[in-house]
């Protein structure tokens, strides 16, 4: 766990100091006067992660006068970033809230990893960190006043802390599972024993079941023989029915074929007569000559028709011309009649139309000329009208004659078509003769086939009558056969039931053998799980693992202790102790030696004791960081420098520098001003009326 950002609200000495970022910090000290709130920052981290601090009561952690506190810790774990937010609200019972989030780099947002309950969410956090609060404060965090937390514990307690650091709790889980499995195996053995007793009672009835099966098989055999005879008789009857149906179908088929052949013969006779007629060349040639004579008679009429059409066109053209002339004469005559009326009414010797001098003689002369012209035009109009009537009469006569010719000539097309048809028929007369001969042969063959089918049908009708008489005289009925089948089925069912009972007994016998083998296997398993339980227990594999890591822990602690004490002090950790009775007992005793010999830990001075505690605690932290069970990459040291002289402080600072590569972030708390400049980064904490504040320097 590497802290990245810490946000505090109303926690201990802090109200709302803002965001504390640890980005870019490798080693830093938290400096400030006593009571300023340096250790409270570490309390805030542990409270956010586990809900625990130096005081586990939220009412003692909340800032005085406030009713709500909140801590949000952002941290990195094994390359991923997470955030834990824990809140507590004061009240009659108090209410808590815990949120767990993971950073999604692709979406650039937080994903909610919280579970349904706070307890389940806390379990997820513990699983991620792979440690609980007690393991943390006994390894990664040297809490103020608790630097000797590991050293002063009893050997058993120290062993448990070391077991937690090494992740040996899984062996307790294995031991619990082994115990549980032992109980399950024993319960299964008891269940099998009870089942085997029941099987034995069932197997004792095997002789009686054998007699029942023999009797049932005899009855079933007799019923089978009776049913087989009846079914054979019934099968013969069924075959007779099928034969009769088959014969009747053949009769029906022959009848249809005979009728079809009859229709074919009738149609073929008609077709052959037609072919014989089409093959008569003499008749065809005679008919062709008659058609051509008729066509020759019609040829002059066609020429006469053309002349009539020409004559009618000439008459129609002349009549149209005369009608156009008469239509023009009327408008031309009206001006002349008007001049006459004007001249007759004029009194002056002047022409009223042209304005020239006009005497009586000239006026009369003009009137005569105009009257003559009017009369001439009227005569021409009458003559034209008479001629038009004459022409219309001629046209009517021509149309009548033309219609008669059209009627006479309409038969010409039919005669031409008839001529072509007769000529084609004459060309195919020989082919028709061949077809007529071939069709005659087919007709003869069909007549023979019809006679054969009629004879076969007569034979089949006789067979059908014989089969029908045999069915009518049969004594076996469907009811008789059904009764025998029921008797056979019931007998078989009794045999089946008896055989099932025997098979069940055989199955029980096999199952008994299998269960006996299973019981033997379970007994072996019980012994194996008992051995595993002992191996998983505290005196088994966990003890062996602790023995393998104790030299490593001892070596790392002495390496630091030598640097801090100029090789004056050494620590020794013993995993076994000889009892007064001479037995060897598992333990985890710590012995301290110097130039004067080995002395109890309690006899060393405060400064020396702290250096011993510090060396062991740093060794534990390094051990925890190297173990795959918990990737601890941060170290927190809360005070302890006050017990050291100037030389001891230098040793401690030098020791801290020597382990900096083992941790990504190291935070050291001190209130000694002369030590501030010994660290590359410093977080200055001070008291203010608005609560404690911090500043990164």
Closest C-alpha among 232, 218, 165 to residue 617: 165
Question: Where does 346-428 have alpha helices with state H?
Answer: 360-409, 411-427
Distance CA(375)–CA(362), nearest Å, equals 20
pLDDT band at 28 (very low <50, low <70, confident <90, very high): very high
Residues whose CB is less than 8 angstroms from the CB of residue 114 and which lie 6 or more positions away in sequence, other chains included = 98, 99, 100, 101, 121, 124
| Residue corresponding to tokens 């000495």 | 13
Place of tokens 């009227």: 378
CA–CA separation, 3 and 5 (whole Å)? 6
Cα distances (Å, whole numbers) of residue 674 to 27, 78, 641, 642, 679? 17, 36, 11, 12, 11
CA 156 to chain centre: 58
Whether the CB-CB separation of 75 and 69 falls below 8 Å is answered with no
Cβ count within 10 A of residue 398: 20
Nearest to 225 by CA among 40, 491, 564: 491
Least confident of 40-49, 312-321, 642-651, 652-661: 642-651
Does residue 219 register a pLDDT over 60?
yes
pLDDT band at 10 (very low <50, low <70, confident <90, very high): very high
**Does 599 or 278 have the greater pLDDT score?**
599
Q: What are phi and psi of 19, to 5 degrees?
A: -90, 130
- The token pair at 31 is 């400096």
pLDDT digits (tens, 9 = 90+) for 110-125: 999 999 999 999 999 9
**Placement of tokens 């060897």 in the chain:** 584
- Say how far apart CA 83 and CA 104 lie, in whole Å: 12
Instruction: Determine the average pLDDT of the residues in 673-696.
Output: 87
Structure tokens at 564: 């801090």
Cα atoms in the 13 Å half-sphere on the side-chain side of 611: 31
Mean pLDDT of 539-551: 76
**Radius of gyration of the chain, Cα coordinates, nearest whole angstrom:** 68
Element (H, E) at 30: strand 27-31
Is the four-CA dihedral 265, 271, 273, 276 of positive or negative sign? negative
Residue 628 has pLDDT above 60, yes or no: no
CB proximity list for 228: less than 8 A, separation 6 or greater:
none
Residue 553 contacts residue 620 (beta carbons within 8 Å): yes
Q: Give the residue with greater pLDDT, 468 vs 642.
A: 468
pLDDT band for position 290 (cuts 50, 70, 90): confident
**How far apart are alpha carbons 417 and 291 in whole angstroms?**
10
3-state secondary structure of 31: strand
**pLDDT over 70 at 630, yes or no:** no
Burial 587-616 (b: 16+ CB within 10 A, else e): bbebebeeeeeeeebeebeebbbbbbbbbb
pLDDT of residue 17: 94
* Bridging pattern class, strands 634-638 and 141-142: parallel
State which of 103-117, 182-196, 490-504, 523-537 shows the largest mean pLDDT: 103-117
Long-range contacts of 254-261 (CB under 8 A, 24+ apart): 254/453, 254/454, 254/456, 254/457, 254/460, 255/457, 257/453, 258/450, 258/453, 258/454, 258/457, 261/446, 261/449, 261/450, 261/453
The answer to which of 133-137, 361-365, 576-580 has the lowest mean pLDDT is 576-580
Q: Which pLDDT score is estimated for 235?
A: 76
> Which pLDDT band, with edges at 50, 70 and 90, does 13 fall under?
very high
Maximum mean pLDDT: which of 33-37, 140-144, 250-254, 299-303: 33-37
- Which of 315, 328, 441 shows the shortest CA–CA distance to 387? 315
Position 16 scores a pLDDT of: 93
Q: Of residues 285 and 191, which shows the higher confidence score? A: 191
Complete DSSP assignment for 129-186: HT--HHHHHTTTEE-TT-TTTTTTS-HHHHHHHHHHHTTTHHHHHHHHHHHHHHHHHH
Residue 177 — very low, low, confident or very high, per pLDDT cuts 50/70/90? confident
Q: Mean pLDDT over residues 593-605, rounded? A: 81
CB 182 within 8 A of CB 533: yes
The more confident residue out of 202 and 448 is: 448
- Please enumerate in sequence order all residues whose Cβ is within 8 A of that of 489, keeping only pairs 6 or more positions apart, or say none: none
**CA dist 557 to 165, 590, 613, 655, Å?**
16, 12, 9, 11
Quick: pLDDT tens for 383-408: 888 888 888 888 888 788 778 777 76
Q: Is the pLDDT of residue 358 over 70?
A: no
Residue for token digits 């105009």?
Answer: 370
Return the pLDDT at 656: 78
Write out pLDDT tens, residues 33-57: 888 898 899 999 999 999 999 877 8
Span 536-559, average pLDDT = 79
Judge whether residue 517 has pLDDT over 70.
yes
Per-residue model confidence as pLDDT tens digits over 233-249: 777 767 777 877 787 88
What is the average pLDDT value for the chain, to the nearest integer? 79
Query: What is residue 413's predicted lDDT score, i.e. its pLDDT?
Result: 67
Secondary structure (3-state) at 566: coil
* Angular region, 145: left φ>0, alpha ψ -120 to 50, beta rest: left
Q: Which residue has the tokens 């009208």?
A: 385
Q: Residue 136: name the closest of 664, 542, 549, 625 by CA.
A: 625
Does residue 667 carry a pLDDT above 60? yes
Q: Average of pLDDT values for 640-659?
A: 70
Say what the pLDDT of residue 308 is.
Answer: 78
Nearest to 149 by CA among 141, 37, 34: 141
CA dihedral 171, 174, 179, 185 (to 10 degrees): -150
Q: Which of 613, 611, 638 is nearest to 31 (CA)?
A: 638
């Amino acid at each position: 766990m590497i802290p990245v950002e810490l946000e505090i609200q109303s926690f201990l000495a802090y109200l709302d100091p803002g965001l504390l970022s640890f980005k870019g910090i490798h080693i830093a000290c938290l400096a400030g006067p006593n009571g300023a709130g340096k250790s409270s920052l570490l309390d805030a981290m542990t409270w956010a992660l586990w809900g625990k601090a130096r005081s586990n009561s939220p009412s003692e952690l909340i800032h005085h006068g406030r009713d709500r506190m909140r801590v949000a810790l952002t941290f990195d774990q094994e390359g991923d970033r997470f955030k834990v937010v824990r809140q507590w609200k004061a009240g009659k019972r108090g209410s808590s809230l815990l949120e767990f989030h993971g950073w999604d780099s692709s979406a650039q947002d937080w994903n909610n990893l919280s579970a349904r309950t706070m307890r389940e969410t806390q379990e997820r956090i513990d699983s991620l960190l792979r440690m609980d609060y007690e393991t943390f404060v006994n390894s990664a965090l040297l809490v103020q006043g608790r630097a000797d937390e590991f050293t002063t514990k009893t050997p058993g307690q120290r062993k448990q802390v070391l077991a937690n650091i090494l992740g040996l709790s899984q062996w307790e889980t294995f031991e619990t599972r082994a115990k549980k499995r032992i109980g399950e195996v024993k319960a299964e053995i008891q269940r099998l024993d009870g089942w085997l007793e029941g099987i034995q009672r069932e197997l004792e009835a095997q002789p009686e079941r054998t007699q029942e099966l023999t009797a049932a098989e005899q009855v079933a055999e007799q019923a089978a023989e009776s049913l087989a005879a009846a079914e054979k008789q019934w099968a013969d009857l069924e075959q007779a029915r099928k034969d009769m149906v088959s014969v009747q179908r053949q009769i029906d088929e022959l009848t249809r074929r005979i009728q079809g052949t009859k229709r074919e013969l009738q149609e073929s006779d008609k077709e052959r007569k037609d072919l014989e007629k089409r093959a008569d060349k003499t008749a065809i040639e005679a008919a062709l000559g008659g058609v051509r004579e008729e066509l020759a008679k019609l040829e002059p009429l066609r020429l006469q028709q053309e002349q009539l059409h020409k004559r009618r066109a000439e008459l129609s053209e002349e009549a149209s011309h005369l009608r156009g002339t008469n239509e023009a004469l009327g408008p031309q005559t009206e001006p002349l009649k008007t001049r006459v009326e004007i001249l007759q009414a004029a009194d002056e010797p002047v022409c009223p139309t042209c304005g020239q001098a006009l005497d009586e003689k000239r006026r009369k002369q003009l009137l005569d000329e105009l009257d003559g012209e009017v009369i001439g035009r009227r005569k021409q109009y009458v003559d034209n009208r008479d001629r038009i009537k004459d022409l219309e009469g001629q046209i009517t006569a021509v149309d009548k004659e033309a219609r008669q010719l059209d009627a006479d000539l309409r038969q010409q097309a039919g005669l031409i078509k008839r001529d072509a048809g007769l000529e084609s028929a004459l060309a195919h007369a020989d082919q028709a003769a061949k077809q007529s001969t071939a069709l005659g042969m087919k007709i003869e063959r069909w007549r023979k086939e019809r006679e054969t089918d009629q004879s076969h049908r007569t034979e089949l009708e006789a067979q059908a009558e014989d089969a029908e008489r045999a069915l009518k005289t049969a004594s076996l009925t469907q009811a008789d056969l059904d009764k025998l089948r029921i008797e056979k089925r019931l007998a078989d069912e009794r045999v089946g039931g008896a055989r099932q009972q025997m098979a069940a007994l055989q199955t029980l016998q096999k199952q008994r053998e299998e269960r006996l083998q299973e019981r033997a296997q379970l007994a072996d398993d019980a012994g194996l799980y008992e051995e595993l339980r002992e191996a998983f227990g505290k005196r088994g594999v966990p003890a062996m693992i602790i023995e393998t890591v104790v030299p490593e822990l001892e070596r790392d602690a002495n390496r630091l202790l030598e640097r801090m004490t100029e090789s004056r002090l050494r620590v020794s950790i013993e995993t076994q102790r000889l009892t007064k009775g001479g037995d060897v007992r598992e333990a985890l005793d710590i012995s301290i030696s110097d130039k004067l010999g080995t002395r109890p830990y309690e006899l060393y001075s405060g400064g020396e004791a702290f250096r011993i505690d510090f060396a062991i605690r740093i060794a534990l932290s390094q051990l925890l960081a190297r173990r795959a069970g918990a990737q601890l990459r941060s170290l927190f040291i809360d005070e302890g420098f006050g017990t050291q002289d100037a030389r001891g402080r230098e040793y401690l600072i030098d020791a801290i520098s020597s382990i900096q590569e083992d941790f990504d972030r190291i935070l050291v708390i001190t209130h000694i001003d002369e030590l501030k400049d010994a660290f590359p980064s410093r977080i200055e904490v001070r008291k203010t009326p608005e609560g404690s504040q911090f500043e990164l320097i």
